[in-house]
Amino acid sequence: MSETTEAATAAERNTSADEAGKAVFSVRNLWKVFGPKAERIPHDESVTGLSQAELREKTGCTAAVRDVSFDVRKGEVFVVMGLSGSGKSTLVRCLTRLIEPTAGTLEFNGDDVIGMDKDRLRELRRHRASMVFQNFGLLPHRTVVDNVAYGLEIQGVGRAERRARAAEMVTKVGLDGLGERRPGQLSGGQQQRVGLARALAVDPEVLLFDEPFSALDPLIRRDMQEEVIRLHSEEGRTMVFITHDLNEALRLGDRIALMRDGQVVQLGTPEEIVANPADEYVRDFVRDVPREQVISVRRAMRPCKKGEADTGAALEPDTLVVDAVEAVARSGEHCRVVENGRTLGVVDNARLLNVVAGLTGEEDGGEQKAVAAV
C-alpha cells in the first residue's frame, strides 16, 4: 500500500500524529475452525490448502476464518466485507473472543487477548471494544434512556450519572424527546440508534458493528451511515464495520478487508480495491462501482510532457476523477496535480476517460511511474 493513500485516512485526520496509524487490534495467522478436532486443522498441511467443500468432506470441519492477518489502526473505519458465509461475523467475534479462535495471535493495544483471563476479557468487552449488533439487542421493558444506560449499569456506574450520560448519548444520536419511550414504540431506524447510543455510552476505544443496518430500509440505512460518518469525523473513534454491501463499504471504509471462504483476499483503501482488484473475485465484486467517484487524480494522472508542468489549473492529489472531469472541461486543457507546490503529474480528458472506462490501474502507469517521470 502506498504511503500517499494512507495519508488520507481518518486516522491522520482525527488523531494526534504519534497516535495515528498505531495498531489497536493486531491479528496474525488467526484461524477459527468449527467441527471435530478443530484444533489440529491449522497445523495440518495436508488439509490447510483444501477448499471449504474439500475440507468439510475430508475432516467434517468448516474453517470459518483461515490464516487471517491484519491490523486495525487507531482512528480508522476498518470494514470487513464479503458474501454471506465468508466468515465476517466469526472474524469480528473472535476479536474479543466472543468466539474462541482456534489458532493465531491477537493483540489489543499490545495486550495479548488470547492470554486474557475472564476478568480482563470482561473489561475488554465492557469498556474498550463495544459491539453493535444487527438485532439491536434492546431490552423491551426498559425505556430508551435505561437501555442506553445499560452498559454503564453493568459497569457499576451510579444511577444519576449513568442517566445523565445516557441522556447525552440519546441526543448525540438524534433521539431527543424519545428517551422515555420503550423500544416497541420506535421505528427500526430509531431502535438502531438506541443500539448505537448504548455502545457509545461506555465510551469504548473501538466500536464493532456486525451488519448493524442490514435490516433497515434503504433511506434509513443511508441516514444511519451518515450518522456513523458524522460520529467518526467528530470523535475519530476506531470502528470495525462488517457489511456485505459494497456501497456501504466504500462509503464508510478507510480500509476494506474483502473476505472469501474465510480468507482475506484483499486489504486496501476503497480506491486501491476499485482501481486495482487483487483477483477475478474482487474484480467481479467491484465491477459496477462508478470508478470516477472513488478514484483520485493521484492515481489517474500521467507524467507531464514538456511545458505542461507550468500550465493548467492545479488540483489537489485527492481530487476525485468525477470532480476533475469538470475542472478539465472548464479549463479546456489539462490540469496539474499539485502537492505542496510540486507538480506530480497531469490529467486531461483522455486520461480521465480511461479511468471511467476502467483502463487505468497500477498496471498501466499509475502514480509511481508518473512521479518518477517528473
Ligand X SMILES: Nc1ncnc2c1ncn2[C@@H]1O[C@H](COP(=O)(O)OP(=O)(O)OP(=O)(O)O)[C@@H](O)[C@H]1O
Chain contacts with ligand X (rule: CB under 6 A)? 34, 62, 64, 82, 84-90, 244
Indicate which of Mg ion, ligand X, none lies near residue 90 (CB less than 5 to 8 Å, by partner kind). Answer: ligand X
**CB closer to ligand X out of 83 and 178:** 83
φ, ψ of residue 71 in degrees (nearest 5): -115, 140
Give min distance, CB of 68 to ligand X, in A. 12
Give min distance, CB of 113 to Mg ion, in A. 21
Residue type for position 304: C
Q: Which three cell numbers stand for residue 169?
A: 448519548
Q: How far apart are CA 43 and CA 48, in angstroms?
A: 8
**CB closer to ligand X out of 55 and 289:** 55
Give min distance, CB of 168 to ligand X, in A. 32
Residue 243 within binding range of Mg ion, rule CB under 5 A: no
SS (H, E, C) 105-169: EEEECCEECCCCCHHHHHHHHHHHEEEECCCCCCCCCCCHHHHHHHHHHHHCCCHHHHHHHHHHH
Indicate which of Mg ion, ligand X, none lies near residue 87 (CB less than 5 to 8 Å, by partner kind). Answer: ligand X
> Which long-range CB contacts under 8 A does 290-295 form with residues at least 24 apart?
290/322, 291/321, 291/355, 291/356, 291/358, 292/320, 292/321, 292/322, 292/325, 292/352, 292/355, 292/356, 293/320, 293/321, 293/322, 294/250, 294/270, 294/320, 295/271, 295/320, 295/321, 295/355, 295/360
Give min distance, CB of 359 to Mg ion, in A. 36
**CB closer to Mg ion out of 65 and 370:** 65
Q: Which of these, 253, 310, 258, lies nearest to 284 by C-alpha position?
A: 258
Per DSSP, what are the bridge partners of residue 107? 26, 112
* Beta-carbon contacts of residue 57 (< 8 Å; ≥ 6 apart): none
Indicate which of Mg ion, ligand X, none lies near residue 319 (CB less than 5 to 8 Å, by partner kind). Answer: none
Give min distance, CB of 29 to Mg ion, in A. 22
Give min distance, CB of 87 to Mg ion, in A. 9
Residue 89 within binding range of Mg ion, rule CB under 5 A: yes
Give min distance, CB of 205 to ligand X, in A. 23
Indicate which of ligand X, Mg ion, none lies near residue 317 (CB less than 5 to 8 Å, by partner kind). Answer: none
Residue type for position 183: P
In the block, cell 474462541 appears at 100
Indicate which of Mg ion, ligand X, none lies near residue 281 (CB less than 5 to 8 Å, by partner kind). Answer: none
**CB closer to ligand X out of 92 and 324:** 92
Question: From the CB of residue 100, how many other CB atoms can be counted at a distance below 10 Å?
Answer: 9
**CB closer to ligand X out of 6 and 133:** 133
For 177-271, where are the E strands, in sequence order?
206-210, 238-243, 255-260, 263-268
Give min distance, CB of 29 to ligand X, in A. 18
**CB closer to ligand X out of 61 and 274:** 61
Indicate which of ligand X, Mg ion, none lies near residue 343 (CB less than 5 to 8 Å, by partner kind). Answer: none
> Quick check: helix, strand or coil at residue 36?
coil
CB under 5 A: which stretch of 41-49, 81-89, 92-100, 226-234 binds Mg ion? Answer: 81-89
Residue 90 within binding range of Mg ion, rule CB under 5 A: no
**Cα–Cα distance list, 263 to 69, 186, 266, 270 (Å):** 9, 38, 9, 18
Give min distance, CB of 70 to ligand X, in A. 16
Residues 39 to 68 in contact with Mg ion, rule: CB under 5 A: none
**CB closer to ligand X out of 86 and 296:** 86
Indicate which of ligand X, Mg ion, none lies near residue 225 (CB less than 5 to 8 Å, by partner kind). Answer: none
Indicate which of Mg ion, ligand X, none lies near residue 85 (CB less than 5 to 8 Å, by partner kind). Answer: ligand X
**CB closer to ligand X out of 87 and 179:** 87
Contact residues: Mg ion, CB under 5 A: 89
